[in-house]
Amino acid sequence: MKNKILFFSPFFITFLLVSSAGWSLEPSFSSAPSTSTESSKLTEGAEAPQMLLTTEGDSHSPKVSGETAPSYHKYSSVHVDGPYIAMTFDDGPSPTLTPHLLDILKEKGVKATFFVIGQNVVHSPEIVARASAEGHEIGNHSWSHPMLTKLSEEHLQEEVQKTSDAIAEATGKKPTLLRPPYGAINQRIGKMIEEKDGLTIILWSVDPLDWKSPGANVVAQRLIAGTKPGSITLSHDIKPGTIQAIPEVIDAFKAKGYKFVTVSELIALESKAPASAAQSTKTK
Ligand SMILES: [Zn+2]
């Protein structure tokens, strides 16, 4: 299986080192508006390998670094007037699970957003092409899933640009969104990614912690309970329990009257009315 290959690959060893270094230090989150109720949830789950090294991964409180208002755009949810939500899936494509998820989304008539890892894109470009052709949005999730805040500018640009290029190669479209691995972002790189790479930073407002494999029912209940209009949900299309949960989640969302849009569509629907602090975390 792919995980085993990853596990023994030199890349994976590097991943372990980078990941463990990342977790041993405090992530330097930017001082997003402290009014955001989502700010305490900025701990994107890692893929399974990370579970080998640590039992943590519970929500870390973001460290407010004393930065003033961020000078770049960053969304963890969007203030909208209608019942719109954006479901997002990270860390794929998985050669086996992502096609299954695409089948479910197609059957249910749901559009979603995939934040893909560049090196997985070049392994399975046809899956990314299919997702794009079926109306889903493809966003950049870096080449190898490092904590971007720990990288040199040169290394950061390589992670971002190679991935955008791989997505463009597979789909014919350049991505416009980036989700930083672990939600780790700060003013310096947020601004750089927006200005140099033309990518808007997307976080999330609902985190079922599915990377811990709590079981499909738990994943489903967390997603259903946490979502409200304007939510951006996080989950991982490399986790079997997540794929298993999705049909029930979609049915529950439909029963509540939610309409499914991509993240870019959700942002385009942003209400001009004053945002409630809990719903909009647009930072500029
Ligand atoms: Zn990720």
Which domains are assigned to the chain?
2-49+60-268 (3.20.20.370)
Task: Categorize the per-residue pLDDT at 274 as very low, low, confident or very high, splitting at 50, 70 and 90.
Answer: low
Residue 80 clears pLDDT 70, i.e. is over it:
yes
CA dihedral (65, 229, 140, 283) positive or negative: negative
Is 122 in a helix, a strand, or coil?
helix
Residue 164 clears pLDDT 50, i.e. is over it:
yes
| 103 noted as active-site residue | no
The mean pLDDT value for 247-257 works out to 98
The mean pLDDT value for 215-226 works out to 98
Cα–Cα dist 196/218, whole Å: 40
Name the active-site residue from 79, 90, 136, 141: 90
User: Ligand 1 centroid vs 59 CA: distance in angstroms?
Assistant: 15
| 236 noted as active-site residue | yes
What phi, psi does 53 have (nearest 5°)? Answer: -100, -20
Task: Categorize the per-residue pLDDT at 70 as very low, low, confident or very high, splitting at 50, 70 and 90.
Answer: confident
User: 83, exposed or middle or buried, with CB in 10 Å at 0-12, 13-18, 19+?
Assistant: middle
User: pLDDT tens across 139-155, in order?
Assistant: 999 999 999 999 999 99
Residue 44 clears pLDDT 90, i.e. is over it:
no
User: Ligand 1 centroid vs 120 CA: distance in angstroms?
Assistant: 12
Angle of helix 97-108 versus helix 240-255 axis, rounded to 10: 10
Task: Categorize the per-residue pLDDT at 68 as very low, low, confident or very high, splitting at 50, 70 and 90.
Answer: low
Residue 234 clears pLDDT 60, i.e. is over it:
yes
The whole-number pLDDT of residue 34 equals 31
Q: Which two tokens stand for residue 106?
A: 């197609």
User: Ligand 1 centroid vs 71 CA: distance in angstroms?
Assistant: 24
Residue 260 clears pLDDT 80, i.e. is over it:
yes
Cα–Cα dist 122/84, whole Å: 32
User: Ligand 1 centroid vs 90 CA: distance in angstroms?
Assistant: 5
The mean pLDDT value for 209-238 works out to 98
User: Ligand 1 centroid vs 214 CA: distance in angstroms?
Assistant: 17
Who has greater pLDDT, 62 or 258? 258
Name the active-site residue from 79, 141, 145, 236: 236
Cα–Cα dist 203/183, whole Å: 6
Q: Which two tokens stand for residue 100?
A: 């299954």
Nearest to 15 by CA among 164, 198, 142: 142
Nearest to 124 by CA among 187, 78, 79, 167: 167
Nearest to 137 by CA among 178, 165, 103: 178
User: pLDDT tens across 116-129, in order?
Assistant: 999 999 999 999 99
Cα–Cα dist 223/89, whole Å: 12
The mean pLDDT value for 68-87 works out to 93
User: Ligand 1 centroid vs 91 CA: distance in angstroms?
Assistant: 5
User: Ligand 1 centroid vs 182 CA: distance in angstroms?
Assistant: 6
Q: Which two tokens stand for residue 118?
A: 């560049």
pTM listed for this prediction: 0.77
What are the residues facing 259 on neighbouring strands? 84
